[in-house]
Amino acid sequence: MKRQRALTVWGALVIVLVVLVLAAIFMPVSTGERGAAPRARCLSNVKQLVLSEIMYSSDFDDRFTRATAWMDAVTPYEKTEEIKRDPEGTKPGQFGYAFRERADGEKLTSFLSPAQTILIFDSNLFQRSAHSELWSIPRPGRHKGGNVCGFVDGHAKVLVSPTPDHPELNDTLQEALKADDKATTKP
């Protein structure tokens, strides 16, 4: 007759311990991903909106859209309307992005330093085709203290300001605003 092996108390404890260790390892990773996902979607949205503006300008004598209707003007250059909505910090019917007033109808080539000039950015203005100068950037940022900004040259990045909890952070938003003032348009 064959002996059947039963699960011992020690065997059960080992299995439970292994499961708990794996849970402890993967739990922080999965919760961090949930917080990073809206920021990554926002970064992708802003990049696509900036690229839509660049495609628009190539069809219209190298000029950007008019600030008052920029979202409508770039619609033919995008795949979905959803990229016009910030996935974090907005309610249904709100958008959360603004177009730089200084770029209103300007030629793409009129910017001294396109890699330092902000074009589309997270904003406290939530209406469709919102436009302003950079005063409407949320402080602190909407995405874990950061704001997503798209630049005239087509790249987008998260700019972070220091917070009382993390004063060691570089003030990349402030640095970008200073560089932007120097790099905006030719006289």
- Residue 113, pLDDT above cutoff 90: no
- How many Å apart are CA 118 and CA 185, to the nearest integer? 12
Note down the domain range covering 137: 37-183
Q: Is residue 130 part of a domain?
A: yes
pLDDT on residue 172: 57
Strand partners for 144: none
Q: Is residue 11 part of a domain?
A: no
What confidence tens digit (pLDDT) does each residue in 13-43 have? Answer: 888 888 888 877 776 554 444 567 888 899 9
- Global pTM reads 0.74
Scanning the structure block, which residue is given the tokens 């628009």? 56
Q: Is residue 4 part of a domain?
A: no
- How many Å apart are CA 99 and CA 101, to the nearest integer? 6
Instruction: Determine contact, residues 132/98, Cβ cutoff 8 Å.
Output: yes
Q: Is residue 32 part of a domain?
A: no
C-alpha distances out from residue 187 to 103, 108, 123, 178, 183, Å: 14, 14, 27, 18, 11
- Residue 97, pLDDT above cutoff 70: yes
Q: Is residue 126 part of a domain?
A: yes
pLDDT on residue 160: 79
- How many Å apart are CA 105 and CA 110, to the nearest integer? 11
- How many Å apart are CA 152 and CA 53, to the nearest integer? 9
Report the domain count for the chain: 1
